[in-house]
C-alpha cells in the first residue's frame, strides 16, 4: 500500500508536532500548516492527496479550507479528514457538505485515525488505478494498432487544433502525405505478414526523422501516412520530405532473412497564416497535399511534389 503525502492543518503547534511524529513513524511524508490560508499556500508548492484539518482555526477555518480545496484546479483527488469537537449530526453534515470525506472528534484516537487513513489511501489508490486505466484506453483510442503511430481519428481531432494554434500565434503550418510505392507488390511477393512488418519499419524510420513533441505522424489509411509540422513553412517541409524520401529509398527492411527494398512518394503543402486565411480548413489542406501526392505518383513515384495551399 502506498503512503501518500499528508498535510496536517492545525493552529496548535503541539498538535502539529505530535501528528508529525505519529504519521512519520507510520511512513507518511508529513507537512504542517497553521491555518487554511497557510495550507493553500502549501498547495501552490506541492500537491497533497491527504489533508487532516482542524475545524476551528483563525483566518480560514477547516470548512472554508474544504470548500477552497474542492475549487482548486488540481489533477487529482484530495481526501480530507476533518478534526472537530463538534459531533452533532448537524455539524457532521455541515462538514461533509463543505467537502470533507470523513471526520474525527477530538481528542483524536490514533488507532482510529490510522483506520480512517487506510480507508482514504484505498480510495486514492483506486482513483490512481482508474486514471491509469483511462489513460491507457485514451492512448489506444488514438493509436494505430499495427504501426504504433497515431490513427486517423487523431488527425480529425488534432489537425484542426494545429490550424487554430497556427492562426492564433501567427505561425506557419505544413503537412506531408506519404504513400509507399507499389505496396501491393510487397504483399503479393512476400505475404501480408511481411507487408505489416514493412509498415511498422516504415513508421519507425519516419518517426526517427521528425521533431519529438512538436511534429507528429499518423496513419491516414492503408499505406498512406500524414505528417503535421507546426511552425514549419513550405520550404522547410519540402526539405524534410526529400530527406525522408532518401532515407526510405536507401533503407533495406529485413523480414525472415529477406531484404525488402521500398520507396515512397510525398505530397507537401503548407501555409503562412497571413497569406492563406481563407483556406485554413482541414479538408482543403489534406486535399491539396493529396493532389501533390498524386502528382508525384504520376511523375514516376519515389519523388516529392508540393506547393502552397
**Rounded CA gap, 192 and 148, in Å?**
18
* Residue pair 50/79 in contact by the 8 Å Cβ criterion: yes
Name the residues annotated as catalytic.
223
Structural domains of the chain, count: 2
186 and 283 together in one domain: yes
Same domain, 194 and 230: yes
Asked whether residue 236 falls in the same domain as residue 156, the answer is yes
Q: How far is CA 177 from CA 207, 226, 302, in A?
A: 14, 4, 13
Range of the domain at 285: 152-308
Residue 106: what are its φ and ψ, rounded to 5°? -90, 145
Retrieve residue 225's grid coordinates.
501516412
Rounded mean pLDDT, 261-280: 81
- Give the chain's length: 309
- Rounded distance between C-alpha atoms, residue 191 and residue 208, angstroms: 26
Q: Are 11 and 58 in contact (CB under 8 A)?
A: yes
Q: Do 127 and 156 belong together in one domain?
A: no
pTM of the model: 0.72
Residue 95 shares a structural domain with residue 172: no
Q: What is the pLDDT of residues 74-132, one digit of tens each?
A: 889 999 999 988 778 888 899 999 999 999 988 889 999 999 999 999 999 999 999 99
- 107 and 168 co-located in one domain: no
Residues 231-270 pLDDT 10s: 999 999 999 999 999 999 999 999 999 999 999 999 999 9
Residues paired with 103 in a beta bridge:
82
Amino acid at each position: 500500500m502506498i503512503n501518500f503525502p499528508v498535510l496536517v492543518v492545525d493552529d496548535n503547534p503541539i498538535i502539529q508536532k505530535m501528528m508529525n511524529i505519529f504519521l512519520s513513524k507510520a511512513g507518511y511524508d508529513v507537512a504542517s500548516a497553521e491555518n487554511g490560508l497557510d495550507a493553500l499556500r502549501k498547495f501552490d508548492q506541492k500537491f497533497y492527496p491527504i489533508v487532516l484539518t482542524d475545524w476551528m482555526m483563525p483566518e480560514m477555518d477547516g470548512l472554508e479550507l474544504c470548500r477552497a480545496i474542492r475549487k482548486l484546479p488540481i489533477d487529482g483527488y484530495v481526501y480530507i479528514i476533518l478534526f472537530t469537537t463538534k459531533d452533532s449530526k448537524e455539524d457532521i453534515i455541515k462538514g461533509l457538505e463543505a467537502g470533507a470525506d470523513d471526520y474525527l472528534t477530538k481528542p483524536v484516537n490514533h488507532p482510529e485515525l490510522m483506520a480512517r487513513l487506510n480507508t482514504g489511501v484505498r480510495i486514492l489508490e483506486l482513483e490512481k488505478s482508474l486514471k491509469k486505466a483511462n489513460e491507457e484506453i485514451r492512448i489506444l483510442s488514438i493509436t494505430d494498432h499495427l504501426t504504433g503511430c497515431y490513427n486517423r481519428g487523431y488527425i480529425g481531432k488534432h489537425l484542426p487544433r494545429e490550424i487554430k494554434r497556427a492562426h492564433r500565434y501567427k505561425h506557419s503550418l505544413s503537412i506531408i502525405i506519404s504513400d509507399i510505392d507499389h505496396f501491393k507488390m510487397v504483399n503479393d511477393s512476400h505475404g501480408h505478414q511481411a507487408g505489416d512488418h514493412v509498415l511498422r519499419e516504415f513508421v519507425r524510420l519516419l518517426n526517427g526523422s521528425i521533431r519529438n513533441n512538436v511534429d507528429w505522424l499518423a496513419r491516414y489509411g492503408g499505406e498512406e501516412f500524414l505528417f503535421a509540422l507546426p511552425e514549419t513553412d513550405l520550404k522547410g517541409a519540402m526539405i524534410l520530405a526529400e530527406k525522408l524520401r532518401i532515407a526510405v529509398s536507401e533503407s533495406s527492411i529485413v523480414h525472415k532473412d529477406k531484404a525488402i527494398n521500398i520507396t515512397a512518394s510525398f505530397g507537401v503543402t503548407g501555409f503562412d497564416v497571413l497569406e492563406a486565411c481563407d483556406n485554413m480548413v482541414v479538408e482543403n489542406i489534406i486535399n491539396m497535399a493529396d493532389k501533390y501526392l498524386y502528382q508525384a505518383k504520376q511523375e514516376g513515384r519515389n519523388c516529392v511534389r508540393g506547393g502552397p495551399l
